[in-house]
Amino acid sequence: MKIGLISDTHGLLRPQALEALHGCDHIVHAGDIGKPEILEALRLIAPLTVVRGNNDKDDAWAADVPFEATLRAGEVAIYVTHILADVPKMLAQDVRVVVTGHSHKPLQQHRDGVLFINPGSAGPRRFKLPITVGVLHVEGMAVRGELIELSLT
């Protein structure tokens, strides 16, 4: 199973991001969406799991978007929230992946057998950080993360 990861679009959904997510079986948006049209466009590619970011909290359209979500990819549970500091200290035993956003910095690291992955920002550039999305490749209990820098030329 191939799960696309996107975060921090802040109202800008680049065609390069859509292209990178094409062919995914599911997409996760890890918050700071910016406008509902972004979710509509992502749903045209694949089923979508989305969480609200700190910049979405005052938007009426985002009122029904949860601050955290857990989805299943076969045998693997994936926990999603926007801010890393909001991840519970004790996760459910079957959680193998934690997806966050917020920092705009793409990152993946393993902590106690759990893959923590931040796909970075696919929206407006912040400082000199790259514009990125991510992909999770799930086969049985095996999970591999991939960070993809988008070419803007």
Note the pLDDT tens digit of each residue in 96-134. Answer: 999 999 999 999 999 999 999 999 999 999 889 999 999
The closest alpha carbon to 97, from 49, 57, 56, belongs to 49
Could you give the domains of the chain?
Answer: 2-149 (3.60.21.10)
Q: Quick one: three-class SS letters along 43-102?
A: HCCCCEEECCCCCCCCCHHHCCCCCEEEEEECCEEEEEECCHHHCCCCCCCCEEEEECCC
Token pair in block for residue 57: 């909290």
Intervals of the chain under pLDDT 50:
none
DSSP letters spanning 92-139 = -TTEEEEE--SS---EEEEETTEEEEE--BSSS--TTPPBEEEEEEEE
pLDDT at position 76: 94
DSSP state of 30: -
Model pLDDT, residue 126: 87
Whole-number Å distance between alpha carbons of 28 and 77: 13
